[in-house]
Amino acid sequence: MGFKKKATVSAATLAILAGALLGGIKYLQNQSPRQIVKTEGKQPVAVEELSYFNGKEKIFGKIYKPADSLGRHPAVVFCHGLAVNGDFGDAFCREAAGMGYVAYTFDFRGGSEDSRSTGDMTRMSILTQKADLETVLHRLRGEKFVDGNRIYLIGHSQGGLVASEAATEKHNGIAGLILLAPAFNIPDDGRARYPRLSDIRDTTYFGICTLGRLYYSDIHNLNPYKWLKKFKGDVLILQGTADTAVPQAYSEQAAEKFKNSTLEILEGGDHNFTGAYRKQALSLIRDYLKGQLEKE
């Protein structure tokens, strides 16, 4: 009799603990940590941390919002390249927010050694980053300040490839796409390094980072151009002639595949659009985003 009573109490306790745990996770997912860090820009821009949780996995991000306006806004989501984090998108997000968009930049899980998100680089791939982006898109559409029907993606380098892969999925509902030196060459480079799946090593040292087997196995059969023609939104592609990471021909081929694309070649521009090329890129992006606002 005593044994049964003890078991009943234990089960009740476990139920309470489980409920508290699930409630805590739900709270973290719906009440992500936010803190205003700076307000500046052409019109006041509030920059806050807005991180999302998928179970125990954290995706660190920041939201840039027009500080003095209410209601829903079109949104821009920035996807960074390999071995950097979401801070690379800061200038682009400030530009968009200064125009009346809300902008979001985040760290891909395992996207760099400086990532503030969960995960490490040996467990990261193009497909895990696509999953991260889709999680972000789903969560942003639930925010009261985002117009879920007007979300635009900006992707740099590897982030450009990831953004393109996500945009061609109809269920993601992307309105437009801006690609900065998009690394459509990644699958070809991977196959050149490892012609057969069986050749892929557990870890590969690549520049300043170490990539895992998953990275190369996920791109082995990937055709980055296969679905581009399915995307019907406006696409802006920026490519520098002095880019040593992404050959210009890959951007030219992508521009031909998209239905509605504009390819801007920046003479002398480097892969990261530094200095004067950053200003030129921001000007072209400003024109694109202004054009999208005028359509609505």
Dump pLDDT digits (tens) for 207-226.
889 999 999 999 999 999 99
Number of structural domains (the chain) is: 2
Q: How confident is the model at residue 143 (pLDDT cuts 50, 70, 90)?
A: very high
Burial of 13 (0-12, 13-18, 19+ CB in 10 A): exposed
Give residues with Cβ within 8 angstroms of 241, minimum separation 6.
Answer: 248, 265, 266, 267, 268, 269
Q: How confident is the model at residue 9 (pLDDT cuts 50, 70, 90)?
A: very low
120 with 191, same domain?
Answer: yes
Burial of 231 (0-12, 13-18, 19+ CB in 10 A): buried
45 with 169, same domain?
Answer: yes
Q: Between 39 and 294, where is the model more confident?
A: 294
Phi, psi of 27 (to 5 degrees): -65, -45
19 with 120, same domain?
Answer: no
pLDDT at 21: 42
212 with 234, same domain?
Answer: yes
26 with 122, same domain?
Answer: no
Give residues with Cβ within 8 angstroms of 203, minimum separation 6.
Answer: 122, 210, 211, 212, 213
Domain that holds residue 266: 33-295
State the Cα–Cα distance between residues 149 and 127, nearest whole angstrom. 24
23 with 51, same domain?
Answer: no
Residue written as token pair 């719906």: 30
Cα distances (angstroms) measured from residue 143 to each of 30, 31, 61: 9, 11, 14
Phi, psi of 66 (to 5 degrees): -60, 120
269 with 214, same domain?
Answer: yes
Q: Are strands 234-240 and 176-180 parallel, antiparallel or unpaired?
A: parallel
pLDDT at 44 over 50: yes
142 with 113, same domain?
Answer: yes
Please name the residue ranges forming H helices in the chain.
2-30, 90-98, 126-140, 158-167, 186-193, 213-219, 248-257, 276-295
226 with 129, same domain?
Answer: yes
Residue 62 structure tokens: 């920041």
148 with 13, same domain?
Answer: no
229 with 193, same domain?
Answer: yes
7 with 79, same domain?
Answer: no
Q: Are strands 61-66 and 73-79 parallel, antiparallel or unpaired?
A: unpaired
pLDDT at 195 over 70: yes
Dump pLDDT digits (tens) for 92-134.
999 999 999 999 999 999 999 999 999 999 999 999 999 999 9
pLDDT at 168: 96
Give residues with Cβ within 8 angstroms of 239, minimum separation 6.
Answer: 181, 246, 248, 251, 252, 263, 264, 265, 266, 269
